[in-house]
Amino acid sequence: MEISHIEHIGIAVKNLEKAIDYYEKVLGLHCYAIEEVKDQKVKTAFFKIGETKIELLESTDEDGPIGKFITKKGEGIHHMAFAVKNIDQALDEVEQNGVRLIDRKPRKGAENMDIAFLHPKSTFGVLTEFCENKNSSD
Ligand code: ZN
């Protein structure tokens, strides 16, 4: 497998607007996109730092994955995403190495990327995402 960089860090927040204010006004970053991912019951806001993004996640539903996370653990870092060259191959490879997958097959995430999650029980407590950017690589 080939991981090129950390694609993004996902951060669960209760209030997207307030969190955006902090990232923009205090840290001086620019929110370049806000997008709802219905499938995941979240609204996301993106910031870019070098090649890496910060993905803020606000739940649109208490029973969604981010809603549940915040109820259980509060706000904070939710997951880390690696950019991979070939997501199908990367998933096969980790599975062969005994890693439990949340997603066997990639699905569409924010920014039209193909994404899949690995189970945190197999990754030392870090919910790990693989992303393949099909928009630019062809
Ligand atoms: Zn993510």
Q: Over 60: is that where the pLDDT of 33 sits? A: yes
pLDDT digits (tens, 9 = 90+) for 78-106: 999 999 999 999 999 999 999 999 999 99
Q: In Å, what is the CA distance from 109 to each residue of 18, 21, 40?
A: 23, 24, 8
What pLDDT score was predicted for residue 36?
93
Rounded CA-CA distance 93/90 in Å is: 5
Q: How far is the CA of 25 from the centre of ligand 1 (A)?
A: 23
Q: Which domains does the chain have, with CATH numbers?
A: 3-132 (3.10.180.10)
Q: How far is the CA of 9 from the centre of ligand 1 (A)?
A: 7
Residues having C-beta closer than 5 Å to ion ligand 1: 10, 81, 129
pTM here is 0.91
Min mean pLDDT across 5-14, 54-63, 100-109, 128-137 is at: 128-137
Q: How far is the CA of 5 from the centre of ligand 1 (A)?
A: 14
Q: How far is the CA of 124 from the centre of ligand 1 (A)?
A: 18
Q: How far is the CA of 13 from the centre of ligand 1 (A)?
A: 13
